Amino acid sequence: MTQITSPAVELRVLVYSHDAATRSRVISALGPRPHPDLPEVHYTEVATAAVVTRHMDAGGIGLAILDGEAAPTGGLGLAKQLRDELDPCPPILVLIGRADDRWLADWSRADAAVTHPIDPLRLREAVTALLSADR
């Protein structure tokens, strides 16, 4: 898990969805600093699974937010793949279509899940909890 040592540290968050509007809603909901105790966030927007894999393999990502409703590659399957292939793997938050899909988020080994439509408060709380876990 990523450890943040001071609010001055840069945090890179990867946001994956085939839908530019979904990526925009995530970034708008979180803003440049989701919580005063967290560093400023720099976003990497990604629309394809291949580019997600490339960024994650390169390292430097502090959190991945993956859209479970993305097509043709959903964020849930991608989360499972990343967990299986990356060691260490940064925290992963998945966006799920409905609360009943929580079992899929558990199967994917995501660290957290937030339902569509995106609730900015819940998304910020989930991100803050993930990034503050090792502080």
| CA–CA distance, 130 with 91 (Å, rounded to integer) | 7
- Tell me the domain boundaries of the chain: 17-118
Taking the model in full, what pTM does it have? 0.91
89-100 core/surface letters (b: 16 or more CB in 10 A; e: else):
bbbbbbbbeeee
- pLDDT per residue, tens digit, the chain (135 aa), is 444 444 456 899 999 999 999 999 999 999 999 999 899 999 999 999 999 999 999 999 999 999 999 999 999 999 999 999 999 999 999 999 999 999 999 999 999 999 999 999 999 999 999 998 654
What is the CATH architecture of 17-118? 3-Layer(aba) Sandwich (3.40)
